[in-house]
Chains A and B, each alone.
Chain A
């Protein structure tokens, strides 16, 4: 059987996911007593960045955005028994973070869904994942629009009203999402979908 473009991209995506998992596992299993190993693993991560041709500026922005979590957790581990390990822990965790960010930039959800379908993941989960990805940005835009409309109409800076207004935006978002789900169901049926 000759390799179609779809099967090739699916194989590539599967390789990337497996590679990222392996790399994260390797970094996690590095003993604290061997900090030099982390250097070698850092080179592997850099290699992954180069191979996947991930643009560096968005990568750095994403890593910086997520690094406070690591800093917080490392700080918490610095309190108490093995206080000397926290630097290794922070480096280890940061390397893993870069790996996951590279994966998220290098694989699209469509490719990922194809990999999961080939791995026999239940269809219901795949449908849910696909629909979530489809409407993620639609609903995020809708919520931003509702927030803008609300702030254009109400000028009260009082916190109590801000909470009630924001909650009504979220509540309306749920109502709109459920109404949209009805329409999506009808569209799915019209296109021959079977449960």
Chain B
């Protein structure tokens, strides 16, 4: 999902760079306030860990393989502000040392993967963990959060490409979100297996995520969440509004509604008319909602599969 240079126009690059700089600066301040000095090297080591972990390949169908992105996983392990710093560091090094992702697009890449994926993943993880509870709850929560973070980042990325006038929204959204709904399954499964491996070897490392959140962490999360919501509103809202006028005409001109545009989830809903869902935007939203529900229940089922009942009986919560 690393956007190369040349695909974003100046206004998008500037807006994303501003938002990312603000978010990163706030996250750094927050980390300095909440992190004990003993944990400072952990940020650099976690960034190096994430970089190395992204090079471990997981076999998928045929000869292809996938790898971890890790935004939700790092957020679950270290908390939201530290995760923003870690992900941003990884993206900066990937850009400057390996030319992976553009220089002007660095702001956009940090925004999508460092802010949106991290914070959204963290919010989903915390909510689901409380909802289900126990080791199973944590595994299901991280699986679902990994999926959500991949999809959210891809939607934000699609919004930026559309805002730049590079790829029209009706093409960008289904393509990006559709592909990442598939990629997100892998991301969720890997994140869950890694979290499970950590909780089996060193359950104490997860204590940070298990303790009741200190007030500063919550405040940091709220401010960072506001910054990324502002950005998403800027990039996505102009296209995603349900008013049928502009979008309808664009959609009609581009032939949106063809099966090729939304290959993954729109097909089962293709001939499915819910009253009030006549516009393609609403149909896409409904397809997304169905996909999200399916992902959530898959995550639940997966956690029941991998976490044995015996393990669940152990006192994992202090």
Structural contact, B171 and A76, CB atoms closer than 8 A: yes
Given A66-B99, A127-B40, A127-B44, residue A73 in contact with residue B4 (CB < 8 A): yes
CA distance A95 to B7 in the complex (A): 12
Structural contact, B56 and A172, CB atoms closer than 8 A: no
Structural contact, A77 and B167, CB atoms closer than 8 A: yes
Structural contact, B6 and A92, CB atoms closer than 8 A: yes
Structural contact, A174 and B5, CB atoms closer than 8 A: no
B93 at the interface (CB under 8 A from A): yes
Q: Which of A152-168 contact B (CB under 8 A)?
A: 159, 162-164, 166-168
Structural contact, B198 and A132, CB atoms closer than 8 A: no
Contact of B171 among A80, A104, A133 (CB under 8 A): A80
Structural contact, A107 and B202, CB atoms closer than 8 A: no
Contact of A167 among B49, B85, B166, B193 (CB under 8 A): B193
Structural contact, A93 and B89, CB atoms closer than 8 A: no
A195 at the interface (CB under 8 A from B): yes
Residues of A within 8 Å of B190, CB to CB, are 163, 166-167, 170
Number of interface residues of A (CB under 8 A): 75
Given A28-B13, A73-B7, A76-B167, residue A129 in contact with residue B45 (CB < 8 A): no
Residues of A within 8 Å of B57, CB to CB, are 166
A140 nearest CB neighbor, chain B only: B52
Contact of A112 among B3, B25, B45, B96 (CB under 8 A): B96
CA distance A70 to B259 in the complex (A): 25
| Most-contacted residue by chain A among B90, B97, B254 (CB, 10 A) | B97
CA distance A134 to B170 in the complex (A): 44
Residues of B within 8 Å of A29, CB to CB, are 10
Structural contact, B46 and A93, CB atoms closer than 8 A: no
Structural contact, A181 and B103, CB atoms closer than 8 A: no
Structural contact, A25 and B10, CB atoms closer than 8 A: yes
Structural contact, B194 and A96, CB atoms closer than 8 A: no
Residues of B within 8 Å of A103, CB to CB, are 96, 99, 103
B24 at the interface (CB under 8 A from A): yes
Structural contact, B89 and A77, CB atoms closer than 8 A: no
Q: Which of B121-166 contact A (CB under 8 A)?
A: 161, 165-166
Residues of A within 8 Å of B189, CB to CB, are 163
Number of interface residues of B (CB under 8 A): 77
Residues of B within 8 Å of A127, CB to CB, are 40-41, 43-44
CA distance A55 to B9 in the complex (A): 31
Structural contact, B49 and A96, CB atoms closer than 8 A: no
Residues of A within 8 Å of B9, CB to CB, are 28
A48 at the interface (CB under 8 A from B): no
Structural contact, B41 and A131, CB atoms closer than 8 A: yes
Structural contact, A89 and B7, CB atoms closer than 8 A: yes
Structural contact, A175 and B205, CB atoms closer than 8 A: yes
CA distance A25 to B217 in the complex (A): 37
A121 CB, nearest partner CB in chain B, Å: 9
B97 nearest CB neighbor, chain A only: A104
Given A79-B171, A104-B97, A128-B44, residue A195 in contact with residue B28 (CB < 8 A): no
Residues of A within 8 Å of B95, CB to CB, are 100
CA distance A89 to B85 in the complex (A): 32
CA distance A136 to B37 in the complex (A): 21
B77 at the interface (CB under 8 A from A): yes
A194 nearest CB neighbor, chain B only: B37
| Most-contacted residue by chain A among B31, B47, B59, B197 (CB, 10 A) | B197
Can you list, as one digit per residue, whether each of B5-17 has a CB less than 8 Å from chain A (1) or not (0)? 1111110010000
A47 at the interface (CB under 8 A from B): no
Structural contact, B167 and A104, CB atoms closer than 8 A: no
B201 at the interface (CB under 8 A from A): yes
Can you list, as one digit per residue, whether each of A64-104 has a CB less than 8 Å from chain B (1) or not (0)? 00100110010011011110000001001111110111011
Can you list, as one digit per residue, whether each of B30-68 has a CB less than 8 Å from chain A (1) or not (0)? 011000011111111111110111011111000000001
Structural contact, B197 and A25, CB atoms closer than 8 A: no
Residues of A within 8 Å of B100, CB to CB, are 66
B299 at the interface (CB under 8 A from A): no
**Can you spell out 21 A-B residue pairs with CB atoms less than 8 angstroms apart?**
A24-B103, A79-B171, A80-B254, A81-B253, A93-B5, A93-B102, A97-B5, A97-B99, A100-B99, A103-B96, A125-B88, A128-B44, A132-B93, A133-B93, A133-B97, A139-B48, A139-B49, A170-B197, A171-B195, A174-B46, A184-B41
Interface residues of B (CB under 8 A from A): 2-10, 13, 24-25, 28, 31-32, 37-49, 51-53, 55-59, 68, 77, 85-86, 88-90, 92-93, 95-100, 102-104, 161, 165-168, 170-172, 175, 189-190, 193-198, 200-202, 205, 253-254
Known: A24-B102, A180-B45, A184-B44. 13 other contacts (CB 8 A): A28-B6, A81-B253, A93-B4, A127-B40, A128-B47, A128-B86, A131-B44, A167-B194, A175-B201, A175-B202, A181-B41, A185-B39, A185-B40
